[in-house]
Amino acid sequence: MAEATTIDHDRHRRTGSAEVIYAEFKTPEQVIKAFKSIQDSGQNVLATRVKQDAFDLLSSEIEGVEFFESARIACWKGGDHQPDTPATSIGIVTAGTSDLPVAEEAAVTAEFYGNKTERIFDVGVAGVHRLLRRVDRIRTCRIVVVVAGMEGALPSVVGGLVDKPVIAVPTSVGYGAAFNGIAALLGMLTSCASGVSVVNIDNGFGAGFLANIINRL
């Protein structure tokens, strides 16, 4: 079964990015094996949902690996080719403190691919003035990632304030009728603001990755 995980080294040529390691259900040994395989092909390496034990192993065996704790991301940027940095920034907006890990996953992912980011955190809709005070800063970004749990209303408000693409990320933050992110997901899909699209619950990586693609158009 040694060949069960076939790293898709051709992916970089085909879609412009190296394969990414989703570490959630992998053992530390599986993570490090996949990590080295991509590293050996000369590419930068990004691993998401990395737990402390996997990072400990990574940092003891691989020089130069970085760990972003709240983002749960481990990465290595010693590849043969480094991405250039677009002139424009990616905005990362969050509703509450609890959404921070998902927002950081999006931000660190975008930065891994060479982008500048603007973090505008804790501007939930129940205190809309906090958001309005930051609108000018949000408007300087080329794309806006909006991360929110509970009722997930923030993308609707942001989408009505800017003329940029909004990538909405529902989070599983909440309880009761939040149903682990379903309330936020439905709220974002039915947003009355145009220009909003949605990724999976808690999928900070997907939002950061897509923001990078759009920022490079």
Distance CA 88, CA 182 (A): 32
User: What residues pair up with 93 in beta bridges, in sequence order?
Assistant: 120, 146
Nearest distance from residue 169's CB to a copy of itself, in Å?
10
Residue identified by tokens 């509970």 is: 150
Q: Is the CB of 63 or the CB of 128 nearer to a copy of itself?
A: 128
Helix (H) or strand (E) holding 213: helix 204-215
49: Cβ contacts below 8 Å, ≥ 6 apart = 22, 23, 24, 72
Q: Is the CB of 60 or the CB of 87 nearer to a copy of itself?
A: 87
Q: Is the CB of 6 or the CB of 60 nearer to a copy of itself?
A: 6
Amino acid at 212: N
125 DSSP assignment: G
Nearest distance from residue 64's CB to a copy of itself, in Å?
23
Nearest distance from residue 36's CB to a copy of itself, in Å?
15
Q: Give me the half-sphere count of Cα atoms (radius 13 Å) on the Cβ side of residue 34.
A: 25
Q: Is the CB of 20 or the CB of 58 nearer to a copy of itself?
A: 20
Which three-class secondary structure state does DSSP give residue 170?
Answer: strand
Burial of 1 (0-12, 13-18, 19+ CB in 10 A): exposed
Helix (H) or strand (E) holding 90: strand 89-94
Nearest distance from residue 57's CB to a copy of itself, in Å?
18
Nearest distance from residue 63's CB to a copy of itself, in Å?
26
Q: Is the CB of 59 or the CB of 172 nearer to a copy of itself?
A: 172
